[in-house]
């Protein structure tokens, strides 16, 4: 067995020509062929891995727009039914930027967000205004998919499981976030913890954002820690940090 490097031959006893120490043309050809084959295999393997990754992602988010529209419609319908039955823990909130319905305009399902109240605050303070800055603890997910039964977590302000004693609050201006998130903030009281469902129309719409595919319904577990008006600050007792805007 020989390796693919150049192999020197022992010179013949009667042969003084030093050219005998050079590799044979056949073996040089074999070495070049082996090198080319190795490159082809590595290149093909990389192509296969890339193709598999793209295929898996496409499979993960196949028919994503239709699935997200159907998912939000089901959540919205469920919330309306629960409200009608007297369940006060579910709400549908109209996009804050829309006016009232009239002869020329009627709000659609995806002009609303859906709220499931996880815990209510006893605070008597008003909700944040559009010009206010808030401190919010949150975790954002996508809708359930084949690999993520609870939905892929694309962003969170805390490590591990949610713990109100240690969770980090993000500093977010109400006017800096998407309409769905801003709508929720302008209805929350300090201390409220809500699960908020935002249709893609009030989120990133038809555009992808980082690990968030286009047409994604966004699901937030969010707690309003505090807020302050322009030029003023409230007392904030938890650690804070800035993070990207949802």
In terms of domains, do 47 and 80 share one?
no
Of 119, 129, 74, which Cα lies nearest the Cα of 96?
129
Structure confidence by residue, pLDDT tens digits, 170-185: 999 999 999 999 999 9
The DSSP letter of residue 157 is S
In terms of domains, do 26 and 142 share one?
no
Would 5 be classed as within a structural domain?
Answer: no
Would 153 be classed as within a structural domain?
Answer: yes
pLDDT in the model for residue 188: 97
In terms of domains, do 205 and 97 share one?
yes
Percentage of the chain beyond pLDDT 90 is 60
Contact 154, 142 (CB under 8 A): yes
CATH number at residue 103: 3.10.50.40
The DSSP letter of residue 193 is E
Mean pLDDT of 21-41: 55
Highest mean pLDDT pick, 34-43, 66-75, 156-165: 66-75
Would 166 be classed as within a structural domain?
Answer: yes
Higher per-residue pLDDT: 234 or 86: 86
In terms of domains, do 183 and 106 share one?
yes
Contact 229, 158 (CB under 8 A): no
Would 43 be classed as within a structural domain?
Answer: yes
Global pTM reads 0.74
pLDDT at residue 129 tops 90: yes
Range of the domain at 36: 22-60
Of 81, 97, 64, which Cα lies nearest the Cα of 202?
97
């Amino acid at each position: 067995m020989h390796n693919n490097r150049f192999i020197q031959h022992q010179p013949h006893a009667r042969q003084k020509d030093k050219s005998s120490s050079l590799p044979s043309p056949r073996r040089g050809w074999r070495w070049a062929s082996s090198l080319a084959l190795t490159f082809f295999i590595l290149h093909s393997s990389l192509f296969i891995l890339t193709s598999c990754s793209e295929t898996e992602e496409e499979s993960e988010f196949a028919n994503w727009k239709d699935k997200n529209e159907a998912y939000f419609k089901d959540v919205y319908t469920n919330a309306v039914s629960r409200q009608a039955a007297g369940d006060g823990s579910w709400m549908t909130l109209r996009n804050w930027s829309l006016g009232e319905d009239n002869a020329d305009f009627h709000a659609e399902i995806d002009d609303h967000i859906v709220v499931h109240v996880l815990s209510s605050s006893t605070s008597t303070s008003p909700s944040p205004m559009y010009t206010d800055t808030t401190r919010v603890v949150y975790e954002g997910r996508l809708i359930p998919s084949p690999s993520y039964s609870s939905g892929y977590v694309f962003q969170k302000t805390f490590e591990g499981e949610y713990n109100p004693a240690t969770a980090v609050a993000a500093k977010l201006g109400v006017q800096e976030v998407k309409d769905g998130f801003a709508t929720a903030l302008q209805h929350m009281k300090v201390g409220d913890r809500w699960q908020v469902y935002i249709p893609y129309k009030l989120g990133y719409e038809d555009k992808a954002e980082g690990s968030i595919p286009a047409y994604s319904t966004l699901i937030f577990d969010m707690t309003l820690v505090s807020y302050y008006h322009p030029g003023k600050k409230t007392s904030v007792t938890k650690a804070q940090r800035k993070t990207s805007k949802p």
